[in-house]
Every structure is written in C-alpha cells, then in structure tokens.
Structure 1
Amino acid sequence: MFLKKLVVFCSCFIFFTLVAQQKEYELIVPNLENPWGFVFLPDNALLINEKSGKIIHFKNGVKTTIKNGPEIYLRGQGGLLDIALHPKYKENGWIYFTYASSIGEGRGGNTTLMRAKLKGDALVHKEVLYKAVPNSNRGQHFGSRIAFDAENHVYFSLGDRGNRAVNPQNLTKDGGKIYRLNDDGTIPKDNPFVTIANAKKAIYSYGHRNPQGLVMLPFTNEIWSHEHGPKGGDEINIIQKGKNYGWPIVSYGVNYNGTKFTDKTYMEGMERPIHYWTSSIAPSGMAFITSEVYGNWKGNLLVGSLKFQYLSRCILKRNQVYKEVKLLRGIGRVRAIEQGNDGYIYVGVENLGILKLLPDAKKK
C-alpha cells in the first residue's frame, strides 16, 4: 500500500513539475540537434545554424534547408557556429557566419568568418572575411560568436584551439583572441596592433581561452564576452581595445585533473573579469534583455549553461554581477540566446529546439 502511494506521489510530483516548467517557455522550433546560433529576419522568420552544417529557414511552422552554405570542418567543438545580421541588413542584406574550415595551411581546420546574402533558399555572394591559420587537428576551442558595435565594426571570437602555451599571449598567432574588422573584412585603421610588426592586425583583445558569448550592450555600446575556463574559471569580461585578459597566465581555474597550472588570479597589465564561476557552468550564448516584455528584468544579462542545463539571469549593478537567478532548470544544454524582434527572449537548446521564454518565468 505504501509503495502504491509512493508511486502516485512521485507521478504527481513529476507531472506538476513539468507543468510548472512548461509555463516558463513555449517551444517554437522543435526537433533541433544543436542550434549553435540563430537570428530573426525582419519578417520574423528564423535562420538557424545546426552545428552539423545545415542552415534552416523557419517560418510559420515550415522548415526549409538553405542551399550553398559554407563547407565546414566538422570535428569536436568545430562545425557551423554563429550567425548574425548586419545592423543595416534591411539595406544591404549581409549575413555573417563563423564556422570551422579546412581551407588553407595545415591539416585539420580553424575558425573562419564569412558573409553572404540570402536569395530565395540559397546563399549567394559568399565572401570569406577572415580565416585563422594554421589549421589544427585538435577538436576544441574554436570559439566563436559574432557581434557588431555602433559603428558597424564586426567582432568575432576564436578560442585558443587547445594550444594555450602558444596562441593566447602571442600577437603573431591566431587563437585566444577577439578580432575586430570593418564590415567588409578590411582592418580598421584604429585597431590596437596595426603598427606592431608581425602582429595579427585584426586582433582587438587577447589572452582568451574559449569565448562563446559576445554581445554589445546597447545602453553603453560596450562589448561584453564570456569564456570557458578549464575546471572552474569561467569568466565574464567587458572587452576593451588592446587589453590582455590573462589566459593562461592568470585564471581562477585548475587543470581538469585538479592540478594547478598557475597560482595567479591577477597580474598588473591584465584585466580582471567582472564575474567568474569557480565551479564551471560551461557558458554558451549571451544576450541582454533590452525590451519591456519582462518588466524589471530590463538590463539583465542572460547566460546559458551547457554543464548544468539552465539559463542564468545575471542581475547587474555597476557592471558587476551581484545576483544570479536560475531559469529553465534541467531544460537541456543551453547553446544560444537571442532577443527577438518582438522583445521576447528565445533560447536554443541542444536536442530540443528553440523556445520562447514567457513572462510567467518572472515569478521564478
């Protein structure tokens, strides 16, 4: 009799837990494997990058595969990555992609930035704007997110490609950097290292591990980023021109086996993170709430957790995270976050799809 009551109780608990969670979101695009990045077109259709290489157009419940996408190098964390619209997309039609490509020097692949236009159900006028070199067979730390600033510069991130001893602190090497280009791929004349001999002229900041969050805060025009640490040491940073963010010389993390690779969390000349997690959450996706849809959440920062499978609502004071609230607990690996044309927040979750965060979530 006791066992029967226990089964009924557990069943009711699971049911009501699921019902409560359902009120937090509405599933908009189902049956996606790894929606690494997505954007809303002006007509509210979605363009979705599946890491496997497929670009999906979704509108009114209909999925269409976009033809003539980039040729990708699919290995480990590499594949088809982020997607972003030019701020003046309605005028010029440019769409920007990051992906792993095997073109060029060496075996394997490395992160690439491309722009193209959409004509019907195909990409046209494809232009590679930047290709990191050399290629590598390593499957980790490709980055890569895209953001634009108020002057229409395009920023994109590239992880250290698993070579922390060589890439992040070396201005002559790609990897472990955030880059800034003009929207046509040319180098801005005021980039910080354009006068440094042999430096990569596109570098804007360096000393990064694997940034998978990059967004402009429109209230201030600051570029914010987050990046994966190793075992602990995930960071949120405000990206400043020419600054060194320390990896791997300074870190709040340790090696995956628990041993230390540095005993320093700060050194003069290196930037401190505005926030860090010593138990790594494996952050991916990043968006500010700038609409009125969620009331006093306006101005909050959202960060996805791959490891713990939730959406973190970071409440900010004076550019510091003073409180975190966990939303969508147990939803799955949160990969991408965007604010839609309608002001709602949309979240890409691996092996689920894209969901809309509902205002009911404010009660959490």
Structure 2
Amino acid sequence: MRILAVLLLLALSACGDKEPVSPAAQPRTVQAAPSVHESEKGNYAVTELVAGLEHPWGLAFLPGGDMLVTERPGRLRRISKAGQVSAPITGLPDFFVDGQAGLLDVAISPTFASDNLVYLSYAEPNLRGNKAGTAVVRGRLQDGALQDTQVVYRQEPKLSHGTHVGSRLVFDDAGHLFVTQGDNRVAAAAAQELDKLQGKLVRIWPDGRIPDDNPFVKRADARGEIWSYGHRNMQGAALHPVTRQIWTSEHGPMGGDELNIPQAGRNYGWPVITHGIDYSGEPVPGSVGKSAPGMEQPHHVWAVSPGLSGMAFYTGDLFPQWKGNLFLGSLAQSELIRLELDGDKVMHEERLLGALKQRIRDVRQGPDGALYVLTDEVDGKLLRITPAVL
C-alpha cells in the first residue's frame, strides 16, 4: 500500500509542473460559436480563436491588437485579432528543449513604438548541450524576423536538465525588467546561495545592466542581479495596477503553491521552509518545516497545488464585476483561478474553465478588455473570454 500511495502521489504531481510530450499539431484558425459558462458574477463566453499551437507558453499584445505567442518547442508566432497565425518568426537563438524547458515568455519593450524590441525568456543550452539555464534575448521585430538580437541575461551556472527554469518577464514603471526563474530542481539548495542565480527573482535594466539600487549589488559574495531569493519555480508574474509592485506565483512541491509580493533582498525560504511535501510523500530534503527565522511566509498559499502558471490583474471595463481581480492559470487542476482582493489581501477564490479540462498556461488582459488564455496542450488553444451578453 505504501508503494501504491507513492506512485499515486507521483502521478498527481505530473499534472502540475511536469510536462506531457505528444506529437505536434498544426496551428489553425478556428471559426466556431462561443461556449457559455457560468460564474458567481454572471455568465461568460469562451471563443476558441486558434488551435494546434504546440504547448503555447507566453502571450504579449502588440500595438494594434495583434499578439505574439511562444510555443515551448521553440517557435514564436504573430497572431491577428481574427486568429490568423503567421509562420514562425525567424532569427531566434538556439533553445534547450526538454521537459519544461524551451521557449518560454514573451514581452514587448515599454518603448516598442520607437524601438520595436521584443524580449524572450528561454532555456539556454550550455556548450555541451546537456544542461540549461534561463536566459533572456531581445531583438527588433521587423519583416517576420527578430533582428539585431542580443542576450541581455543568462543564468549561471547552468544546472537544469529540463526542469524548473521559470520564467516570466515583467517591466516595472521605472523601466526595470524582472525575470522569474526556478531552482533547476537538481540543485534546490542553490536557491539559498547568493553567488548563484537559481531560485532567484532578478531585476535588470533592459540592456542587461544591473541597477545600482539592487539589494546585493555591493556584496562581493552575491550576484548583483538578485532582487529576492529562496524561490522554487516561478511561472507567473504581474505588476499590481495600483501599488505597482511585482507579484509572483510559484510551484510548491506536493502542495504549497505560493503567491508572493517579493521585496528587495528578502528570503522566501525554499527549500528550507515550505508548505508542501516531497513527491516521495516524505518531508522535503533540507526543510525544517513551514517557518524559520529570517525567512518570509507566502503572501497566499494553496495546500493542494493548482500548478500555478501565468497571471494577470484585470483592469478593463468589459467585466466591471471582475475589476481588480487577479487571474492565475492552473496546470494541475486545469482551471483559471479568479481571486477577489481587498487591497493586497485575498478575500475569495473562484475556479473557471474547468469544463474545458485544459491545462491553463497563461492569461492576459487584451486591449479590448477581454481575457486571453493559452492552454498548455500538444493541441494548445488561444481562447478569448468575454461577457456572455454584450
């Protein structure tokens, strides 16, 4: 019975931050009537815009409403408002593609109108090609290609075999670029080591320079890029629309997924403290429990892991009843999580899209006020959520 219990736990964990592998589909525009779903705050409609995206990961809106969408095996596509899908954009770097690793998030420059810069986070291979680390490249989007590309950040040393690479990209109001990462799983203790970049939220200037006011910039024994540390695997991040602080979400092990508001120089504990257990069913190796002196508690924690991924604050007018809510993708439970907030405090949770039984990888608010969702499947979808009656 003990062996069966462990096998069951491992199977359940595979629905969260471990990725399925299947033959690829082909992207295609979908022309179908929306489906209507119920929520506590009124019905909403879900329109399937695109199908056949291979494990889509990140979504960013261009001026005019077109979208850039990443596919984890290494493709970047431009998708029109009507769901027309481009051929893969050329000029991208080489990727380490295995498990969770590959092409990850996409963000456009805050000054895109003048510089046309697009930023991509991805798993960068080492020279031997057998390990990877999180990296960020930028290039000018022109004529279906990224031109004048430059790697502005790379995680060193490279320790990942395809797990726990993060990653989300968020620009703050001052123009800093935040990059979320993972602990690479094979080296969880590195999340506590300030001379390594695993398990860290980093803050850089868009060209890769380190800001002078980063918390560890004057320490010889620490990497100056670090903003906060002790993180396990951050796959969601967004800027709060009022406080303008960065919020992040991260995978716990078996249980203990976290929502955090990372503060400069703070230690968020992994793997020394955690609200989850190891996939073996035993305590996490090296953990002393749920708390320890000098280590921060999660802002919000889930006892059962949803498998948190992309996140977005809703500020539009299309859903006035959802204004100020935080939306998070759930991989393990195949839902879109809606959190009602009072200031920074989580007051209520609702689960949406469960009927679709699709892993939710990313969620973004579009310029039209609709919510756009990516499903992490071999036949991945781009969905648009609107009110059921307009």
Q: TM-score when scaled to structure 2?
A: 0.85
Match of 1:45 in 2: 66
Query: Does the 8 A contact of 1:35 with 1:50 survive in 2?
Result: yes
Match of 2:384 in 1: 356
After superposition, give the CA deviation of every residue in 1:275-333 in whole Å (9 maximum; x if it has no partner): 11111110111000011211121110001110110100011123121211111114200
1:129 and 2:134 are equivalent in the alignment: no
1:247 and 2:280 are equivalent in the alignment: no
Distance 1:361 1:346 in 2: 18
Unaligned residue ranges in structure 2 (runs of 5+): 1-33, 39-43
Residues 1-364 of structure 1: pairs in structure 2 closer than 5 A: 19-21=35-37, 24-59=45-80, 60-64=82-86, 65-104=88-127, 107-136=130-159, 138-261=161-284, 262-331=287-356, 332-350=358-376, 351-360=379-388
Distance 1:320 1:36 in 2: 28
Distance 2:270 2:132 in 1: 22
Distance 1:104 1:112 in 2: 14
Unaligned residue ranges in structure 1 (runs of 5+): 1-17
| Amino acid of the structure 1 residue aligned with 2:50 | V
| Amino acid of the structure 1 residue aligned with 2:359 | R
Query: Does the 8 A contact of 2:36 with 2:46 survive in 1?
Result: no
The alpha carbon displacement at 1:263 in A equals 4.5
Distance 1:27 1:284 in 2: 20
SS state of the match for residue 194, structure 1? Answer: coil
Distance 1:184 1:310 in 2: 36
Query: Does the 8 A contact of 1:164 with 1:209 survive in 2?
Result: no
| Amino acid of the structure 2 residue aligned with 1:335 | R
After superposition, give the CA deviation of every residue in 1:48-91 in whole Å (9 maximum; x if it has no partner): 10001011111244321211112101011100000001122112
SS state of the match for residue 321, structure 1? Answer: strand
Distance 2:369 2:112 in 1: 18
Distance 1:142 1:113 in 2: 12
**Percent sequence identity over aligned pairs:** 39
The alpha carbon displacement at 1:136 in A equals 2.9
SS state of the match for residue 117, structure 1? Answer: strand
Residue range with higher mean Cα deviation, 321-330 or 146-155: 321-330
Distance 1:27 1:187 in 2: 41
| Amino acid of the structure 2 residue aligned with 1:247 | W
Distance 1:109 1:185 in 2: 19
When residues 265 and 87 of structure 1 are mapped into structure 2, their CA distance, relative to the original with a 3 A threshold, is same
Aligned length: 345
| Amino acid of the structure 2 residue aligned with 1:44 | G
The alpha carbon displacement at 1:352 in A equals 3.3
SS state of the match for residue 62, structure 1? Answer: coil
Match of 2:11 in 1: none
The alpha carbon displacement at 1:265 in A equals 1.4
Query: Does the 8 A contact of 2:177 with 2:203 survive in 1?
Result: yes
Query: Does the 8 A contact of 1:104 with 1:133 survive in 2?
Result: no
| Amino acid of the structure 2 residue aligned with 1:307 | A
Distance 1:38 1:281 in 2: 21
Query: Does the 8 A contact of 1:308 with 1:330 survive in 2?
Result: no
SS state of the match for residue 354, structure 2? Answer: coil
Distance 2:326 2:346 in 1: 9
Structure with the larger RCO, 1 or 2 (CA within 8 Å, 6+ apart): 2
Higher alpha-carbon Rg: 1
Query: Does the 8 A contact of 1:284 with 1:305 survive in 2?
Result: yes
Distance 1:357 1:74 in 2: 31
Query: Does the 8 A contact of 2:173 with 2:244 survive in 1?
Result: yes
Distance 2:101 2:107 in 1: 18
After superposition, give the CA deviation of every residue in 1:7-30 in whole Å (9 maximum; x if it has no partner): xxxxxxxxxxx9544953111222
Distance 1:182 1:339 in 2: 25
When residues 361 and 299 of structure 1 are mapped into structure 2, their CA distance, relative to the original with a 3 A threshold, is farther
Query: Does the 8 A contact of 1:149 with 1:216 survive in 2?
Result: yes
Query: Does the 8 A contact of 1:107 with 1:136 survive in 2?
Result: no
When residues 308 and 165 of structure 1 are mapped into structure 2, their CA distance, relative to the original with a 3 A threshold, is closer
| Amino acid of the structure 2 residue aligned with 1:239 | P
How much is the aligned-residue C-alpha RMSD, in angstroms? 1.9
